[in-house]
A and B are shown apart, each in its own frame.
Chain A
């Protein structure tokens, strides 16, 4: 599946930018500098929007398309921000056969976002992940570090409401 590209407004700070410029300066001139710089950029910003990738391309003196190509090739790079609360719905085998797809649909429906997207208010982001190692609790969903198991789709509403308060 192709990666989703965020259309949320960029909210980078001066501090983040200074950090990124330091990272770029550290790697500039190295062969294959794009990968390590993108890694650190994602640590700084949480994701890699066009504004960040442009700074990386400009700073390293490589074409923006090359940076983008790398960022879309490797699955660990994300082009969408994470919300204050990141919801992961497990679609591993055990969860899947126990009806995780319906749970994911329900979350998606309530929040109005697809997996790999973030809500406009920045509160929730949604990820469809593979096994979280809690198959005994299938189907499983996590909200940041909170784990919810043996879920039925209709329970999702109440769980999300707790975080919206």
Chain B
């Protein structure tokens, strides 16, 4: 790559020619502060936090979008720069709800951190008129409080990046605010509940709808049997909430913490993932052999499902009728497990720990109540962040916890279930089982490398039982839109497509720990978190879903075989076409 010579704070550096000043400064060991900048998503140079002095430039320049050139001299920390940054913060604070003590983002707020770093103390100096305070609590998954919004537009860019674009900037000047078209509540527009806006938000303006108290109430109710399940990706991210490095697998400590919180049973949603694979690969083989609608598209990701309902209702017959792993686990707990243990399903409360805000929506969908009307498969969904909050509330010292195992009834799982949390994982898990079933014997190949990795669209062709199986793996709804428009036009001829709503899959879900932009911009969170899951897979004795002893037992005792009438009643669901506007 071509390089140019630049001076940063008087010291010479050779930096790639296409760097921005912000990137170049990193070579000098300087992290220029930012607020609106999200690499690859929001590069608009609007907030003026990253300003620096460039010799010869007329005014301060926004380093996040300003390209380097040969001989450039940059100063990142002059009094003029500091004064400008401080002024920017003071102006932001002048219209900011400074209720920081009780804010959910206190301690992880990027605005708060910058104020501390730059010593902005006299926040009341510019107090005056305030814009109209607007809050939106209309959806099941998030709360928007515009009194904490700094108009950085990161949420808007994240929503655009998901090809949903239901939030944007309305009005102008002092009245500028983030909202939906015609100021409708978020529940009335085509929001898919993915939560990518929440993880993009630098402040407390966007937070998940907190359901911790509901969980505590259930645990403290002696008449309730409270069961928890954790999604595959939680073990790869929860540690971040307790200062551990990105990509640390904290499965054992997570289970220990849940037990100490007072759950009656701690189960693994990897079980539901394994079960999903049996049902979904059966559905796939059935469609291939009997001329069913192809391509089959996975249905694990509720944000994707809602996107399909709004934007591609004509492709709903392609979407697998399988419930998601969360809902399958919940359904099995309230049917098979309840019967087996003589518990009234009405008394069972199933709590899920999910990487996902759309799961809060999914659990309240129609046709997700296998044990009978009014008995939801899953009662309460918490995000990774909410679980961390519960653990902190109980003053559990997470780092010092021993490693414990899931309760075995629904806790012995396979590597195939583990990799569900990364883009490509569901496809790989399905291929492992489909290959064995179609070939009629255990196939040696376990790893399908072509569908791994964080690229948004991956394609591969595998020869299984003499047939060329053409698959695609997609993450992020912008990519989904690209692939689906080809499916719709007939240009693409895949047999099987995995779609995950969030870029990179569940490890990068909207319910995951929020890393500040300074980390997120220069760390491939998706890849590092996914690595933890692939390592878990490699180290597990069982790596194919159909080898799971729990899955075998459940079929022997309850469902008979994949795709049976009973399985359809409990483990499958339906979808509804929704409007695009």
Report chain B residues within 8 Å CB of A132: none
Mask: chain A, 44-66; 1 = CB below 8 Å from B; 0 = not: 00000010011001100001111
Q: Does A94 contact B (CB under 8 A)?
A: no
- Whole-angstrom distance between the alpha carbons of A5 and B166 in the complex? 18
Q: Does B491 contact A (CB under 8 A)?
A: no
Chain A CB within 10 Å, residue with most, of B164, B171, B182: B182
Interface residues in A53-84 by Cβ distance below 8 A to B read 53-54, 57-58, 63-69, 72-73
Interface size class of A (residues with CB under 8 A): 10 to 19
- Whole-angstrom distance between the alpha carbons of A2 and B175 in the complex? 6
A53 and B175: CB pair below 8 A?
no
A58 and B167: CB pair below 8 A?
no
Q: Does B168 contact A (CB under 8 A)?
A: yes
- Whole-angstrom distance between the alpha carbons of A58 and B579 in the complex? 12
Report chain A residues within 8 Å CB of B170: 2, 68-69, 72
Name 17 interchain pairs, CB-CB below 8 A, sorted by A.
A2-B132, A2-B170, A3-B171, A5-B182, A5-B183, A53-B182, A54-B581, A63-B164, A63-B165, A64-B189, A65-B166, A65-B180, A65-B189, A66-B165, A72-B171, A72-B172, A73-B172
- Whole-angstrom distance between the alpha carbons of A63 and B159 in the complex? 11
Look across to chain A and name the residue whose beta carbon is closest to the beta carbon of B182: A50
Report chain B residues within 8 Å CB of A73: 169, 171-172
Q: Does A110 contact B (CB under 8 A)?
A: no
Q: Does A1 contact B (CB under 8 A)?
A: yes
B168 and A58: CB pair below 8 A?
no
A65 and B172: CB pair below 8 A?
no
B165 and A65: CB pair below 8 A?
yes
Look across to chain A and name the residue whose beta carbon is closest to the beta carbon of B183: A5
Q: Does B187 contact A (CB under 8 A)?
A: no
Cross-chain contact of B167 among A2, A54, A65 (Cβ < 8 A)? A65
B166 and A63: CB pair below 8 A?
yes
Which secondary structure dominates chain A's binding surface?
A: helix
Report chain A residues within 8 Å CB of B165: 63, 65-66
Report chain A residues within 8 Å CB of B168: 63, 65-66, 68-69
Report chain B residues within 8 Å CB of A64: 181, 189, 581
User: Considering the complex of A and B, which 6 residue pairs feature the smallest CB-CB distances, nearest first?
Assistant: A63-B165, A68-B181, A65-B168, A64-B181, A69-B168, A65-B181
Report chain A residues within 8 Å CB of B164: 63
- Whole-angstrom distance between the alpha carbons of A66 and B580 in the complex? 14
Look across to chain B and name the residue whose beta carbon is closest to the beta carbon of A63: B165
- Whole-angstrom distance between the alpha carbons of A72 and B177 in the complex? 11
Report chain B residues within 8 Å CB of A65: 165-168, 180-181, 189
Q: How far is the CB of B94 from chain A (nearest CB, A)?
A: 20
Report chain B residues within 8 Å CB of A53: 181-182
B182 and A68: CB pair below 8 A?
yes
Q: How far is the CB of B136 from chain A (nearest CB, A)?
A: 14
Chain B CB within 10 Å, residue with most, of A50, A58, A64: A64
Q: How far is the CB of B501 from chain A (nearest CB, A)?
A: 17
Chain B CB within 10 Å, residue with most, of A53, A65, A66, A69: A65
Q: How far is the CB of B580 from chain A (nearest CB, A)?
A: 7
Look across to chain A and name the residue whose beta carbon is closest to the beta carbon of B163: A63
- Whole-angstrom distance between the alpha carbons of A120 and B223 in the complex? 56
Look across to chain A and name the residue whose beta carbon is closest to the beta carbon of B180: A65
- Whole-angstrom distance between the alpha carbons of A21 and B16 in the complex? 49
- Whole-angstrom distance between the alpha carbons of A63 and B160 in the complex? 9
- Whole-angstrom distance between the alpha carbons of A63 and B182 in the complex? 13
B181 and A67: CB pair below 8 A?
yes
Report chain B residues within 8 Å CB of A67: 181
- Whole-angstrom distance between the alpha carbons of A1 and B175 in the complex? 7
Whether A57 touches B581, Cβ cut-off 8 Å, given contacts A2-B171, A63-B168, A68-B170, is: yes
Cross-chain contact of B169 among A2, A5, A54, A69 (Cβ < 8 A)? A69
Interface residues in B83-131 by Cβ distance below 8 A to A read none
- Whole-angstrom distance between the alpha carbons of A54 and B184 in the complex? 14
Look across to chain B and name the residue whose beta carbon is closest to the beta carbon of A73: B172
Q: How far is the CB of B382 from chain A (nearest CB, A)?
A: 29
Cross-chain contact of B580 among A5, A50, A58 (Cβ < 8 A)? A58
